[in-house]
Structure 1
Amino acid sequence: MTALLSADVEARGLTGRILWTNGTPPPGAQANGEPVYVLIHGIGVSHRYLARLHAVLAAGSPTYSLDLPGFAGTPKPGRQLSVEDYGAYIAEALKSCGIESYVLVGHSMGVQFAIEAALCEPERVQHLVLMGPVVDSRHKNIGRQSLALFLDGLLRESPSSNWIVVTDYLRCGPRWYLTELPVMMEYPTEKRLANVDVPVLILRGSRDHVAGPEWSLRLSRAVPQGRLVEINGVGHVAQHMRPQAVADAIRSFVSATSRQN
């Protein structure tokens, strides 16, 4: 896997991290006319479980990953952060890096962060890609959500993806994970998504029990330019298991909806 370069990013009194490959222009020097992808991780984890997808996308377009405040060894905030806080951080951090226009790609709770960032800076976000969106209406309490995640890891994921996720959870630590878990559970994903006015791709693994088919289809219909794509044979962390297929789906969607606009 190609090593990523990184830099700390401070915004709104919070510190996170932005990462890019040697082949990608550093923040502030992006090429004009190309889609710029920004990858956003979910609760407890980091850019590492997005690294395979990052590498595939970066081979053709400027691509950046974020490690958000409180996760991936970044400084823990002094208070619980709302999804809106994280969305505002993402929008301001990208602006401070000179990244003016982009496609946001969020996974799991990163879906929620991406929605809020898009609502915060609607003129900068070209498309939204929402992978494995939470919280499925079947799992609207912590017990059901936790069971869905556990069974997905046990039955659907590879040892390598589980290793990344578990070690990232340990680095995050239980205090911050449990601080943000209620925030994730209470966020009205479908209601907030309905306010987004850009093309939206909902992407799920066909065996993902965390983001089920009915829930994902409903989200794709919550916006005028919504589309649902399933990646065959994989679970919640589809971008690690099938990075080329996920990247192909994202590129095809961005290309098709850009022509429509």
Structure 2
Amino acid sequence: MSRRSTLRKFLRLGHSGEPRQLGYRTSGTGEPLLLLHPIGLDGSWWSTYIELFSERFRVIAVDLPGHGASSPVRGPITLDGMARDVAAVLEAEKAGPAHVVGVSMGGMVAQHLALRQPRKVASMILCATAGSFADDVRPLLRERGMAARAGMAAVIEPTLERWFPPRARAAAVGQDCARTLAAADPGSWAACWAAIAELATLDRLGALDIPALVITGSADITTAPTAAEALARALPDARLVIVPGAWHMGVFEDPKRFVAAFADFLERNSGDYGAVVPAREPPFVVLSDK
């Protein structure tokens, strides 16, 4: 496999009147593949996926508002507002419709992008994410954001405990995650958690005529498999996949198992894609296939 170069780019935005910057990475050629990261991380966490999928796709990995090279969030923000910014990147790149992959908060933004501009979305991979929360959970999500009001140090360990099994917290992936979280902007963290707490897309997803892969780990304690099941039921054309033993950040902890599921789905839903990972026994379990 040849290593393709990755370009760092920046887009100036001013939807709310104040100029802002959105950072993103591009690599490869072909159908657009848009990658959206979880809260607290950034587009650099997709490096394994960029290297693999840029062989066949034009990969675009965005730093969502308040993350990575993008401007900090100053004031309230919504998931729909993030989706609007992501749509602006696709416009700037003259890319679309795109296959959209979103993990956790990135999966929520992906849903809003599809609802806002369905013609820009060729297919969706919604990983370790949800479409709504119980009313009694929403205040707890806001508090996760407010817990960083004295600095990110207070939220690192609780976040790692939700995202990774003990062995991974002590491994390189856990330590890398701790460093990324430590460097995150506390105000952006709080604003994004407040946006997550307002998530409510389930009753609107039935209008989408877009193929979707809903995938999560069986050991995810942050967004349990029941949340993935609800998403898959709400989407008219969804495949539900459970990765045995994977936690919330399994997509970055053990990429090979998720790459296999992503590649299988993309092979079914893109024009001329050849499987990246041939596997006689896929390391995932398909629970439903509409």
Give the Cα–Cα distance (whole angstroms) in 1 for the partners of residues 249 and 194 of structure 2.
22
2:161 matched to 1:155? Answer: no
Give the Cα–Cα distance (whole angstroms) in 1 for the partners of residues 103 and 196 of structure 2.
13
Instruction: Report the equivalent of 1:78.
Output: 74
Which of structures 1 and 2 has the bigger CA Rg?
2
Is 144-153 or 224-233 further displaced after alignment? 144-153
Q: Which amino acid aligns with 1:152?
A: W
From the superposition, tell whether residues 191 and 164 of structure 1 become closer, same or farther in structure 2 (CA, over 3 Å). farther
Would you say the 8 A contact 1:49–1:165 is kept in 2? no
Give the Cα–Cα distance (whole angstroms) in 1 for the partners of residues 162 and 39 of structure 2.
17
C-alpha displacement of 1:126: 0.4
Is 243-252 or 214-223 further displaced after alignment? 243-252
Instruction: Report the equivalent of 2:246.
Output: 234
C-alpha displacement of 1:52: 1.8
Instruction: Report the equivalent of 1:10.
Output: 12
Secondary structure, aligned partner of 1:133: coil
From the superposition, tell whether residues 239 and 152 of structure 1 become closer, same or farther in structure 2 (CA, over 3 Å). closer
Secondary structure, aligned partner of 1:123: helix
Would you say the 8 A contact 1:136–1:211 is kept in 2? no
Q: Which amino acid aligns with 2:49?
A: L
Give the Cα–Cα distance (whole angstroms) in 2 for the partners of residues 177 and 3 of structure 1.
30
User: Structure 2: which 5+ runs fail to align?
Assistant: 145-157, 272-290
Q: Percent identity?
A: 20
What number of residue pairs does the alignment pair up?
249
Give the Cα–Cα distance (whole angstroms) in 1 for the partners of residues 240 and 159 of structure 2.
21
Give the Cα–Cα distance (whole angstroms) in 2 for the partners of residues 148 and 112 of structure 1.
18
Is 201-210 or 165-174 further displaced after alignment? 165-174
Give the Cα–Cα distance (whole angstroms) in 2 for the partners of residues 216 and 141 of structure 1.
18
C-alpha displacement of 1:2: 7.5
Q: Which amino acid aligns with 2:26?
A: W
2:211 matched to 1:199? Answer: yes
Provide the alpha-carbon RMSD of the alignment.
Answer: 2.7
Q: Which amino acid aligns with 1:4?
A: T
Give the Cα–Cα distance (whole angstroms) in 1 for the partners of residues 24 and 257 of structure 2.
24
Is 125-134 or 159-168 further displaced after alignment? 159-168
From the superposition, tell whether residues 6 and 131 of structure 1 become closer, same or farther in structure 2 (CA, over 3 Å). same
Secondary structure, aligned partner of 2:111: helix
Deviations 1:196-246 (A, max 9, x none): 320111111222111212221111110110111122232111221232321
Would you say the 8 A contact 1:156–1:235 is kept in 2? no
C-alpha displacement of 1:86: 0.5
Secondary structure, aligned partner of 1:62: strand
From the superposition, tell whether residues 222 and 157 of structure 1 become closer, same or farther in structure 2 (CA, over 3 Å). farther
From the superposition, tell whether residues 149 and 134 of structure 1 become closer, same or farther in structure 2 (CA, over 3 Å). farther
Instruction: Report the equivalent of 1:28.
Output: none
Give the Cα–Cα distance (whole angstroms) in 2 for the partners of residues 90 and 218 of structure 1.
25
Give the Cα–Cα distance (whole angstroms) in 2 for the partners of residues 62 and 200 of structure 1.
19
Instruction: Report the equivalent of 1:140.
Output: 137
From the superposition, tell whether residues 102 and 176 of structure 1 become closer, same or farther in structure 2 (CA, over 3 Å). same
C-alpha displacement of 1:160: 2.5
Would you say the 8 A contact 1:52–1:239 is kept in 2? no
Secondary structure, aligned partner of 2:234: coil
Instruction: Report the equivalent of 1:174.
Output: 186
Would you say the 8 A contact 1:136–1:210 is kept in 2? no
From the superposition, tell whether residues 205 and 156 of structure 1 become closer, same or farther in structure 2 (CA, over 3 Å). farther
Secondary structure, aligned partner of 1:246: helix
Q: Which amino acid aligns with 2:82?
A: Y
Instruction: Report the equivalent of 1:99.
Output: 95
